[in-house]
Copies of this chain bind each other. A is one copy, B any other.
Amino acid sequence: MPSIADLIAAYIRKLLEQNPEGVEIRRNELASKFNCAPSQITYVLTTRFGANAGFMVESRRGGGGYVRITRLRVGRRQTLLNQLLEFIGDAIGSRDAEAVIMRLWEEGFITKREALVMKSAVEDTTLRIEAPWRQRLRAEILKAMVTTVFRVMTERG
């Protein structure tokens, strides 16, 4: 006998099939539809639709609140992250750094503004420090930012 959690998960998956872009539910509504505590929905969301399952969950409280669930193109994501980190390596020049950032932007992982902010952080004019160290430092900073982008993308909230 499947648990309620499984039924709810199946239901949400069905919704997602019908609308692959992402679905919006109301926690309490769903809970009463399945005759369970609202926190059960939260449980299903965290156990079955969390980061590692390849989904993103956003929500809002208060009147007109909602929970939005969207699928992430997960495969490409992880590989891109690894590709980029490898490409950056221990040291990287400003031109290559820019290429990394542009790539992220083209692939739709960051906004233009984020791209500009990131770029400004690793420009030669910002990193005023002796040449051999500059490349290393740039690599550190860039890797930190890129990793954050990908990490945050999979978090909730």
Interface residues of A (CB under 8 A from B): 1-6, 26, 62-64, 112-114, 116-121, 123, 125-129, 133, 137, 140-141, 144-145, 147-149, 152-153, 157
Contact = CB atoms under 8 A, between A and B. Distances in A.
A123 B137 contact: no
A11 B26 CA distance: 24
Contacts of A4: 64
Complex copy number for this chain: 2
Which secondary structure dominates where chain A touches chain B? helix
Contacts of A141: 121, 126-127, 141
A94 to B, nearest CB: 13
B144 A133 contact: no
Contacts of A118: 117, 121
Given A114-B117, A127-B140, A141-B141, A5 B64 contact: yes
B64 A1 contact: yes
Nearest to A156: B113
A26 B133 CA distance: 51
Contacts of A6: 64
